[in-house]
Amino acid sequence: MKTIDDFNFDNKKALIRVDFNVPLDADFNVTDTNRIEAAKPTIIKVLEDGGSAVLMSHLGRPKGQRNPGLSLKHICPKVSEIIGVQVKFVDDSAGESVELVVSELQPGEVLLLENLRFYAEEEKGDQGFAEKLSKLGDIYVNDAFGTAHRAHASTTIVAKFFQDKKCFGYLLAKEIDAIEKVMRTGEKPVLAILGGAKVSSKITIIENILDKVDHLIIGGGMTYTFVKAQGGKVGNSICEDDKMELAMEILDQAKKKGVEVHLPSDVLAANDFANEADTQVVDVDKIPDGWQGLDAGPKTLESFGEVIQKCRTILWNGPVGVFEMENFAKGTIAVGNYIDAATQNGAFSLVGGGDSVAAVKQFGFEDKVSYVSTGGGAMLESLEGKTLPGIAAIIGA
């Protein structure tokens, strides 16, 4: 696996695919700078070597049309502030006018290209567009994990034009390493905590990780499909009746593979899907009609804590309750605290997937776990066992 450390960028131009698809407010201010900060070490390495950096990214979904509201010029001041270098901007992504600007770039300078998705060719993975992009750098660096699962021109196809002059940036290399630790090289026992609403959205992940883990904690809304499949009463809780047979198959597979599955024993149930609803703690398989489970109960959290504390490699994908509502966030916060304690005790912990990442940020666990993934879809496809196009393009798989 070639990383940016395998190259010296002295007097070279690095064409870097970053993921600057960041949220903006009504005044075009960046409201979450995590992705920009995550790309900084890669950019700084190029500059400190004596090279220059040409940054390319997408923003939003302009669908091949120029949309002034989605121009990357809006984020240029924030990128300059974070990197500590005045970033230049060019209002196009490819072609002779951009090549001219790039040719005048001096060592130590950074140039940000216009939104790649203003061109429909980007998402189509167009070879001609990728070739135009390839003329903008001497070495190609992919540091955008969030789009590594897309075979787009800038994430995958462009790598063809660089032969042995392509590599991963620090961020993408870290993402690959974190997933490797969970899926292949991590210290045992290995634990996966899977939450979220639906079994259907996690089927392929569960099937793929059963060969890799020793323990599987199932929480959140998908709990109730498993409970009802085993004859329990789940009241008005979310439940995929058409997936009950599959749930039983998963439990059977886990047993055959020697994986211990841990389901909630009690839950905090509510008489309405609302923060101010009446609540009661009930056994997970005895939820009354008209009530729905919205968070893990105290006995469940105690048993989950015991499992988490004895594991050395932990993957957390999905909350164990409706954490967006304060009264049903206690379970997810407790799991975060248990993982924090395990991490302090030497365990490796990886958090990935949109909702769990949102929860970790909301409750201040970002710096208390080993790694928080920057790519939702890419992370999930990695856990499903798929080889991501953006990664295959660099390693030649």
Annotated catalytic residue, options 64, 95, 232, 354: 354
133 with 191, same domain: the answer is: no
35-40 long-range contacts, Cβ below 8 Å, gap at least 24? 35/146, 35/374, 36/75, 36/78, 36/79, 36/82, 36/83, 37/82, 38/171, 38/374, 39/143, 39/169, 39/171, 40/82, 40/83
108 is annotated as contributing to ligand binding: no
Determine the structural domain holding residue 112 and report its residue range: 4-172
pLDDT along the chain (397 residues), means of 10: 96 97 94 92 98 97 94 97 97 97 97 97 97 98 90 95 96 91 92 89 88 95 96 96 95 97 98 97 98 98 98 94 96 97 97 84 93 82 85 84
pLDDT of residue 354: 63
Annotated catalytic residue, options 2, 135, 165, 198: 198
Asked, for residue 254, whether it belongs to a domain, the answer is: yes
- 228 as an active site residue: the answer is no
Asked, for residue 180, whether it belongs to a domain, the answer is: no
158 with 233, same domain: the answer is: no
190 with 168, same domain: the answer is: no
pLDDT of residue 386: 82
Q: How far is CA 13 from the centre of its chain?
A: 29
14 with 58, same domain: the answer is: yes
For residue 313, what is the domain's CATH number? 3.40.50.1260
- 198 as an active site residue: the answer is yes
pLDDT of residue 324: 94
What's the domain count of the chain? Answer: 2
- 174 as an active site residue: the answer is no
Could you tell me if 55 and 113 are in contact, meaning their C-beta atoms sit under 8 angstroms apart? yes
pLDDT of residue 380: 80
Asked, for residue 83, whether it belongs to a domain, the answer is: yes
Calpha distance 310→260 (Å, rounded): 13
324 is annotated as contributing to ligand binding: yes
User: pTM of the predicted model, to two decimals?
Assistant: 0.87
Asked, for residue 316, whether it belongs to a domain, the answer is: yes
293 with 315, same domain: the answer is: yes
Calpha distance 49→212 (Å, rounded): 40
Q: Which helix (H) or strand (E) holds 309?
A: helix 298-309
